Structure 1
């Protein structure tokens, strides 16, 4: 399946459908560290539309233009002033829109059996390859590529990571799909407030020409999707919540968490890089299903890496702080509102103890990350502004991103829901994990796992890990 079979047919600029009063937005303490990260690249594989190619492209261009009218910041550019402060200038410079064709690729070929790696062709479905977010000073903050396949369409979207996190990304993408369906009123208008705990006069100093990526991106890697059914995830949760951890008689927090996470339900709680959130009013007393799955992966990859017992391992996950701050930020707050929670353990200790031990470590760290911890993290960053340390620096790190609670499959552009959700090549290194909802929903999870070839082979042969993969 040669990726060279993807041919760019045309490129155009799309601007806001109507002018909108939009203020210049200063990048926050949570935005600035992402300037060394590559653009977020996510997209959906859709069934073939009942439209001609010309009508399809016209529909999507117009829909994107209407979406930008609700998200005018994404049609702007970054600017650094004389004091070193970085802003989004909402000047409607526009975004890039690409039309591509891949007549020799089919949906079947792009959805291989579970023993196959993710096809490399997906990387050709996105623009801004390896582009750092700092490039938004000169380049568009968004690039959309529509690729027509033999029997399907892929809509790939690349967005500057210093401007959006996963929550804001999917709010934009979902709105794009709503516009294509012809809705009269979007379901979730973005909130552009800039008076939060993340707003700060602190300045991040960059070398001439801007920052460099914090990881090489040159090492050989394998990428694979591991699917976990709802039943498998619940079995892991049962293992993690051993008889020694008896939950108190609170409501069913697994159900409450599913409704409230990410702010897409009743807006009570959310995490990014998903773990069942711990609310201020009703603390979760059980280890969540996603914490259990994360601990299972942490132990399995550590085993596959064959680390020395005394080697410190790190499992890092980003959490959404919108519901953790008091007062809470709106679920539709536009920008980055995330902080990273690292959990560490010696490899020998991690593997000699059971799943409940490692899951409890993750659970305890997440549970402790409330308003005071978020604000303390802001103060620490202000005292020493720095870029986000993305990468696997000691060969023993895992970084969890994205979330199985994000509404990735709520993207019907008018002719059917997505067949699959996939990412491009951005921000990938040995140990980068992205969590997606399973296509069938109902609590299933897809983990996009990026590892060195040797570690991936070890993971594939790990019977304890593969027991839960379907």
Structure 2
């Protein structure tokens, strides 16, 4: 794409909280520390052109951001490490970056219509490539407001060692509330540092800080797949064994699976004792809509990768631990309160068994991830403190992040709901998936899928997957 389609910077400034912070230093928890090697979160929302002159718009966004930061003092701070190696957020009111950019050669259609997410979207965010450790010497938040020919994109980049997705969207929602004139915010954050325990563990980092644990230069395609409520319900029914939407004709099944399978899969199936889903799964358990969708994606991406059937494939799913702990945490606990649930199966099992089998594996692990499992994960990390190994190291993994439950479209800044949600290039690799709610709500889901080009091409011809995808005009 021509460089003229990338935003040009009009101005850059620093925004400070409207009121000084009274918070003490906040120690990074055992859920925050592993994120120091992850890149900043980059998420933003696309609007039609607001009914304001450009100068008035920028002034309104800066003023409301300043007031929103008063409710979130840590975001205007910096990271510090003490002499013993413990890392803290110092709420020192150092401020956040605010960038005003122009991309008048781009329209809403240019952002929304292409099959793949256009490269120009990556230019809607600041702090590109920065890892969260960098919060020691740069702002923890950067906002970029990019004006298009018929719209505006508000991109927010936030340090991932300071927030997870729940905290990120609570901040964004609060900013939107303040911007449209709400005086009493509806979801005040909780700054208690009570994720499991006040750990004494120290994460030892290399000189100069950690680097991303995945290749940032690997070729990728990125596409948004939309799933209607009806498609999601069909998938859920199929995963729960209530219907089988796929054709029963064996030649049709061969068309779906045979083109992307090989003789090795047939050999694997002959050598493996057939196992029905009932031998592994409880038929009385209802598999959720999202687990059903995740399982279908797991099957179809695995098929598209054309891996040896004996190879293990892993589906990692980030889960919110706030309501999994006993006692439950405040739902607006500020910080990271997430853990990654890995589910492992052989390629042959995933492809030779039905959707319910793989969906049941995901369901079983998610349901089992309660208070005891969360605490055991913390204890294991304390024995071996380490950064989170984000990436696809064996070529057979999928990592699901974000959530269709996040209130991404609850961001009316005063001129209507967003048209779309998009993200930057941060933390993207082959097999990284992000789940967003569909704009129309009501159980619809958008999946932002990042895959190697060959795998994406295979996914786009996978009938079993594509029959559930809805094209948005």
Q: What TM-score do you get using the length of structure 2 for normalisation?
A: 0.90
Deviation at residue 195 of structure 1 after TM alignment: 3.1
In 2, the alpha carbon distance for the partners of 1:4 and 1:201 equals: 51
In 2, the alpha carbon distance for the partners of 1:128 and 1:28 equals: 24
Q: CA deviation digits over 1:29-73, x for unaligned, max 9?
A: 000000000000000001111100000000000010000000000
Q: Kindly indicate whether residue 31 of structure 2 is the aligned counterpart of residue 30 of structure 1.
A: yes
Q: How does 1:60-459 map to 2 (within 5 A)?
A: 60-112=61-113, 116-242=115-241, 285-459=285-459
Deviation at residue 20 of structure 1 after TM alignment: 2.8
Q: CA deviation digits over 1:174-222, x for unaligned, max 9?
A: 0011111010110100000013315311000001101111001111000
Query: Which ranges of structure 1 fall in alignment gaps of 5 or more residues?
Result: 245-283
What is the DSSP-based 3-state SS (H/G/I as helix, E as strand, rest coil) of the residue aligned with 1:448? Answer: strand
CA contact (8 A) 2:36 2:161 kept: yes
Match of 1:16 in 2: 17
Deviation at residue 4 of structure 1 after TM alignment: 4.2
What is the DSSP-based 3-state SS (H/G/I as helix, E as strand, rest coil) of the residue aligned with 2:318? Answer: strand
Q: CA deviation digits over 1:272-316, x for unaligned, max 9?
A: xxxxxxxxxxxx931000000000000000000011100100000
In 1, the alpha carbon distance for the partners of 2:30 and 2:11 equals: 37
What is the DSSP-based 3-state SS (H/G/I as helix, E as strand, rest coil) of the residue aligned with 2:56? Answer: helix
Cα pair distance change 1:67/1:454, threshold 3 Å:
same
CA contact (8 A) 1:3 1:124 kept: no
What is the DSSP-based 3-state SS (H/G/I as helix, E as strand, rest coil) of the residue aligned with 1:18? Answer: coil
In 2, the alpha carbon distance for the partners of 1:304 and 1:122 equals: 27
Q: CA deviation digits over 1:408-440, x for unaligned, max 9?
A: 000000001000000000000000000000111
In 2, the alpha carbon distance for the partners of 1:374 and 1:140 equals: 31
In 2, the alpha carbon distance for the partners of 1:240 and 1:11 equals: 50
CA contact (8 A) 1:118 1:224 kept: yes
Q: CA deviation digits over 1:358-409, x for unaligned, max 9?
A: 0000000000000000000000000000110100000000000000000000
Q: Kindly indicate whether residue 47 of structure 2 is the aligned counterpart of residue 46 of structure 1.
A: yes
In 1, the alpha carbon distance for the partners of 2:358 and 2:195 equals: 34
CA contact (8 A) 2:31 2:195 kept: no
What is the DSSP-based 3-state SS (H/G/I as helix, E as strand, rest coil) of the residue aligned with 1:302? Answer: helix
Deviation at residue 23 of structure 1 after TM alignment: 1.2
CA contact (8 A) 2:195 2:337 kept: no
In 1, the alpha carbon distance for the partners of 2:57 and 2:100 equals: 10
In 2, the alpha carbon distance for the partners of 1:66 and 1:8 equals: 24
In 2, the alpha carbon distance for the partners of 1:23 and 1:3 equals: 45
What is the DSSP-based 3-state SS (H/G/I as helix, E as strand, rest coil) of the residue aligned with 2:61? Answer: helix
CA contact (8 A) 1:30 1:198 kept: no
Larger Rg: 2
CA contact (8 A) 2:4 2:105 kept: no
Cα pair distance change 1:403/1:198, threshold 3 Å:
farther
Query: Which ranges of structure 2 fall in alignment gaps of 5 or more residues?
Result: 244-283
In 2, the alpha carbon distance for the partners of 1:161 and 1:177 equals: 21
Match of 1:261 in 2: none
